[in-house]
Chain A
Amino acid sequence: MFSRAYKIAVAAPPLLWVTVFLLVPYALMFCYSFWSVTPAQNIVHSWNFENYKELLEKPVYWETLLRSMWIAARVMMFSLALGYPLAYFLSFHAGKHKDLLYQMVIIPLWVSYLVRAYAWKTILGSDGVLNTLLQYVHVTRHPLEFLLYSPFAVVLTLTHIYTPFTILPIYAALEHIPRNLVEASHDLGATPAQTFWRVIFPLSIPGVVAGATFAFVLSLGDFLAPLLLGGPSGIMISNIVVSLFGAAYNWPMGAAISLGMLLIVVSLLFLSERLEKRWSFS
Chain B
Amino acid sequence: MASITTAGAALVNNLSVARPTLLSIRNVAKNFGANLVLRNVSLEVSEGEFLTILGESGSGKTTLLRIIAGFETATSGELWMGTERLDQLPPYRRRVNTVFQSYALFPHLSVEQNVEYGLRVAKRPAAEIAQRVAEALDRVKMTGYARAKPSKISGGQQQRVALARALVNRPRLLLLDEPLSALDANLRRQMQVELKSLQRDVGISFVFVTHDQEEAMVMSDRIALLRSGELEQVATPREIYSRPATAYVAQFIGHTNLLKAEVRAGVANCGALSWTASLADGPAVFSLRPENIHVAGGAPAAGAARVRGRVIHQAFHGATEFMRVQCVDGRVLVVRTAGGLGLQDEAELEFFAADAIPVRESPERK
Q: B90 touching A183 by the CB < 8 A rule? A: no
Q: A189 touching B104 by the CB < 8 A rule? A: no
Instruction: Across the interface, name the chain B residue whose C-beta is closest to A202.
Output: B108
A198/B117 contact (C-beta < 8 A), A184-B98, A187-B97, A191-B92 known = yes
Chain A residues with Cβ under 8 A from B100's Cβ?
180, 183-184
Pick the contact of B91: A183, A194, A203 (CB < 8 A). Answer: A183
A281/B92 contact (C-beta < 8 A), A185-B117, A187-B97, A188-B169 known = no
Q: A199 interface residue, CB < 8 Å from B?
A: yes
Chain A residues with Cβ under 8 A from B92's Cβ?
186-192
The CA of A198 and the CA of B120, in the complex, are separated in Å by 10
Q: Give min CB distance, B359 to chain A, whole Å.
A: 38
Q: Give min CB distance, A167 to chain B, whole Å.
A: 22
Name A's interface SS. helix
Chain B residues with Cβ under 8 A from A183's Cβ?
69, 71, 91, 98, 100, 104
Q: Count the B residues whose beta carbon is within 8 Å of the partner chain — how many?
A: 26
Q: B104 touching A178 by the CB < 8 A rule? A: yes
Q: A186 touching B118 by the CB < 8 A rule? A: no
Q: A49 interface residue, CB < 8 Å from B?
A: no
Pick the contact of B98: A181, A187, A198, A203 (CB < 8 A). Answer: A187
Q: B102 touching A188 by the CB < 8 A rule? A: no
The CA of A281 and the CA of B98, in the complex, are separated in Å by 23
Q: B165 interface residue, CB < 8 Å from A?
A: yes
Q: B117 touching A186 by the CB < 8 A rule? A: no
Question: Which residues of A from 44 to 59 have beta carbons under 8 Å from B?
Answer: none
Q: B91 touching A281 by the CB < 8 A rule? A: no
Q: Give min CB distance, A190 to chain B, whole Å.
A: 4
Q: B121 touching A184 by the CB < 8 A rule? A: no
Complex interface bits, B148-162 against A, C-beta within 8 A gives 1, otherwise 0: 010100000000000
Q: Give min CB distance, B150 to chain A, whole Å.
A: 8
The CA of A180 and the CA of B177, in the complex, are separated in Å by 12
A186/B108 contact (C-beta < 8 A), A180-B100, A281-B149, A282-B151 known = no
Chain B residues with Cβ under 8 A from A192's Cβ?
92
Chain B residues with Cβ under 8 A from A180's Cβ?
100, 102, 104
A186/B70 contact (C-beta < 8 A), A281-B149, A282-B107 known = yes
Instruction: Across the interface, name the chain A residue whose C-beta is closest to B97.
Output: A187
Q: A186 touching B91 by the CB < 8 A rule? A: yes
Q: A279 interface residue, CB < 8 Å from B?
A: yes
Q: B106 interface residue, CB < 8 Å from A?
A: yes
A181/B169 contact (C-beta < 8 A), A190-B121, A198-B121 known = no
Chain B residues with Cβ under 8 A from A191's Cβ?
92, 121
Q: Give min CB distance, B204 to chain A, whole Å.
A: 15
| New contact pairs (20) apart from A180-B102, A190-B117, CB-CB < 8 Å | A178-B104, A183-B71, A184-B100, A184-B106, A185-B106, A186-B70, A186-B92, A187-B69, A187-B71, A187-B92, A187-B98, A188-B92, A189-B118, A189-B121, A189-B169, A191-B121, A194-B121, A198-B121, A199-B106, A281-B149
Name the 4 nearest CB pairs between A and B, nearest first.
Answer: A281-B107, A188-B118, A184-B104, A190-B121
Q: Which residues of A contact B (CB under 8 A)?
A: 178, 180-181, 183-192, 194, 198-199, 202-203, 279, 281-282
Q: Which residues of B contact A (CB under 8 A)?
A: 69-71, 90-93, 96-98, 100, 102, 104-108, 117-118, 121-122, 149, 151, 165-166, 169
8 contacts between A and B (CB under 8 A): A178-B102, A183-B91, A186-B70, A186-B90, A189-B93, A203-B107, A279-B108, A282-B107
